Chains A and B, each alone.
Chain A
């Protein structure tokens, strides 16, 4: 039993440490110092996000699309099931982000746009190292907002590109909820009880109406007019049905790479 626990713990640590960072510059775009700077940024972001992060720089794609080239590089070099790769096709002046696993959740379609928007000024100025650093920081920030624990409660639907929230069958006991459930009824109940009991000690005061003295059936409505004044019209968009299920707001257009792994991603020119 001990062995199993130790094995599990070890595999957990190995898994935790398996996130890696790769900087592959095939055209010498970055100086050694810049590479180090980029690697440091990626390491830091990788540690914070738990994602494997990579930067690939080439001058072409050997006839492949940016997406296929980036996916194949990821599947052959980085391998990790949760990761994000930034591919810079210098010749085409395009950038492409390839994501997989948790990377697809943290950097979904909208996240890719955020990353590209953040990087674009640096890319356009040719400040490559700065652009890659911005990439790393952006991924790290997105992972803080869209956490791994939230990702674990979802399943990815490749047909719709949506992450569907799962109903967790796992129950955990929440003591805070118990305390809250104690206080929620008890305080008003205490005051209401005392109020009711105190009210019994007080006699009724002035009687504000004449109900006891109105002659039965003596009320006659003599005039009844409903005068129309004006109208106001408001309209609100209806929520669109996107196929049912409790999909959450994360969506990432997914595809299957040549190695059979599900990848998300998107690109932009600069």
Chain B
């Protein structure tokens, strides 16, 4: 089934508006409370269900890797990948939410609604370009964003208790002297440390399409602003459902938590000098995962026949993405630095010799 939110006033497709944090009809500018609109939608659907002309609306059938839907607004065919959960109808452009992608176990527990809008994403992109000395000037001056998409990414948020164990080779050194010799005694130890700590709201990317190298540095996310999931929040954005399950994702929690736990255990070794090797292990207990949709703006720009993608945390405004490099400017800065420091070194050497 596909779900569209229709304006009760004019019948236009209603989208989530990040500035007011409400549902808004782009045609008549009427704003609706999310819950209220959903209730109204149910009423409307109940009225419509008696009419035969709507029976075929929102039909779905499935082939390998893709699903076919019928748009309930225009009747056009919508082809979606298996993991796609919210998109736009390619025929009428209306925002569509694919309801069965959020049913049962697929229903997210929470969603962080978009807090930053398109304009802020563009602003952050241009801010991202500032201060980059090796950026080709033409990229800075003439680049324009070819595409900007709001996207909800599925993640698993883990709360867990981490029990960590470390066995660390270490040594202490004592040095003393008498009139003839200097003595050095190196005492070797094995330090055993056990500890535990808690992690909360540690996100792990639940989408195989979205690289972890983008999702992880985009954090942290403020879960205080997360709300119970409603499909209405997805209206007007793209969304995927998870295709990496919680069990698989928990491995990444262990990897990340292990590093932080080791750091804390190592801080308890006092005056010892750590030797090479050692062993450590962590156990994740009392884990609780929640399925959460996180908001991202994805920006695309084209430069020198290559697409450059940028992702922005639509809650905090943090933007990531590699930038192209101007080799001429790289060489220029190399030589500038080479001669500046070289002349400085030569000057100091000359002055020392003269005075």
Q: A residues within 8 Å of B by Cβ? A: 171, 173-174, 177-187, 189-194, 197-198, 200-215, 218-238
Could you name 17 residue pairs across A and B whose Cβ atoms are closer than 8 Å? A185-B344, A186-B341, A190-B334, A201-B134, A201-B324, A205-B213, A205-B216, A206-B216, A208-B255, A209-B263, A210-B256, A212-B220, A214-B257, A229-B189, A234-B184, A237-B180, A238-B181
**Do A215 and B200 form a contact, CB below 8 Å, given A178-B346, A223-B192?**
yes
Question: Do the beta carbons of B259 and A209 come within 8 Å of each other?
Answer: yes
Q: B residues within 8 Å of A by Cβ? A: 131-135, 170, 177, 179-202, 212-214, 216-217, 219-220, 253, 255-257, 259-261, 263-265, 268, 272, 320-325, 330, 333-346, 348-350, 353-354
Docked CA distance A235–B181 (Å) = 6
Question: Do the beta carbons of A203 and B322 come within 8 Å of each other?
Answer: yes
Contacts of B353 in A (CB 8 A): 171, 173-174, 177-178
Contacts of B348 in A (CB 8 A): 181
Residue of A nearest to B190 (CB): A227
Contacts of A214 in B (CB 8 A): 197-199, 257, 260
Residue of B nearest to A199 (CB): B134
Docked CA distance A35–B202 (Å) = 98
Question: Do the beta carbons of A235 and B182 come within 8 Å of each other?
Answer: yes
Residue in A198, A219, A227, A233 with the greatest tally of chain B CB atoms within 10 Å: A219
Residue of A nearest to B323 (CB): A201
Question: Do the beta carbons of B183 and A234 come within 8 Å of each other?
Answer: yes
Docked CA distance A146–B132 (Å) = 59
Question: Do the beta carbons of B195 and A219 come within 8 Å of each other?
Answer: yes
**Do A207 and B341 form a contact, CB below 8 Å, given A181-B346, A218-B198, A219-B264?**
no
Docked CA distance A178–B351 (Å) = 10
Residue of B nearest to A230 (CB): B188
Question: Do the beta carbons of B320 and A204 come within 8 Å of each other?
Answer: yes
Residue in A171, A222, A226 with the greatest tally of chain B CB atoms within 10 Å: A226
Contacts of A187 in B (CB 8 A): 338
Contacts of B334 in A (CB 8 A): 190-191, 193-194
Question: Do the beta carbons of A210 and B257 come within 8 Å of each other?
Answer: yes
Q: Which of B191, B338, B344 contacts A225 (CB 8 A)?
A: B191
Contacts of B330 in A (CB 8 A): 194, 197-198
Docked CA distance A40–B353 (Å) = 46
Distance of B265 from chain A, by nearest CB (Å): 7
Contacts of B263 in A (CB 8 A): 209
**Do A210 and B182 form a contact, CB below 8 Å, given A178-B349, A186-B338?**
no
Residue of B nearest to A192 (CB): B337
Contacts of B268 in A (CB 8 A): 221, 224
Distance of A177 from chain B, by nearest CB (Å): 6
Contacts of B345 in A (CB 8 A): 181-186
Distance of B244 from chain A, by nearest CB (Å): 15
Q: Which of A184, A197, A231 contacts B133 (CB 8 A)?
A: A197
Distance of B333 from chain A, by nearest CB (Å): 6
Contacts of B212 in A (CB 8 A): 206
Docked CA distance A174–B354 (Å) = 10
Contacts of A180 in B (CB 8 A): 349
Docked CA distance A193–B339 (Å) = 12
Other contacts beyond A204-B217, A205-B213: 14, CB < 8 A: A180-B349, A182-B349, A189-B341, A193-B336, A198-B325, A200-B134, A211-B260, A213-B202, A215-B197, A215-B198, A227-B192, A228-B189, A236-B181, A237-B182
Docked CA distance A232–B134 (Å) = 54
Residue of A nearest to B179 (CB): A238
Docked CA distance A131–B77 (Å) = 113
Question: Do the beta carbons of B194 and A222 come within 8 Å of each other?
Answer: yes
Question: Do the beta carbons of A233 and B333 come within 8 Å of each other?
Answer: no
Distance of A236 from chain B, by nearest CB (Å): 5
Contacts of B186 in A (CB 8 A): 231-232
Question: Do the beta carbons of B187 and A194 come within 8 Å of each other?
Answer: no
Docked CA distance A238–B152 (Å) = 71
Question: Do the beta carbons of B202 and A210 come within 8 Å of each other?
Answer: yes
Contacts of A231 in B (CB 8 A): 185-188
Q: Which of B135, B177, B217 contacts A238 (CB 8 A)?
A: B177
Residue of A nearest to B161 (CB): A218
Contacts of A184 in B (CB 8 A): 345
**Do A201 and B132 form a contact, CB below 8 Å, given A177-B353, A215-B199?**
yes
Question: Do the beta carbons of B265 and A221 come within 8 Å of each other?
Answer: yes
Docked CA distance A233–B325 (Å) = 56
Q: Which of A206, A213, A228, A230 contacts B213 (CB 8 A)?
A: A206
Residue of B nearest to A233 (CB): B185
Distance of A168 from chain B, by nearest CB (Å): 13
Question: Do the beta carbons of B350 and A178 come within 8 Å of each other?
Answer: yes
Contacts of B131 in A (CB 8 A): 200
Contacts of B321 in A (CB 8 A): 203
Docked CA distance A198–B325 (Å) = 8
Docked CA distance A145–B223 (Å) = 78
Distance of B97 from chain A, by nearest CB (Å): 30
Question: Do the beta carbons of A203 and B188 come within 8 Å of each other?
Answer: no
**Do A210 and B132 form a contact, CB below 8 Å, given A186-B345, A187-B338, A238-B179?**
no
Docked CA distance A224–B261 (Å) = 14
Distance of A194 from chain B, by nearest CB (Å): 5
Distance of A101 from chain B, by nearest CB (Å): 32
Question: Do the beta carbons of A232 and B260 come within 8 Å of each other?
Answer: no
Distance of A93 from chain B, by nearest CB (Å): 40
Question: Do the beta carbons of B184 and A207 come within 8 Å of each other?
Answer: no
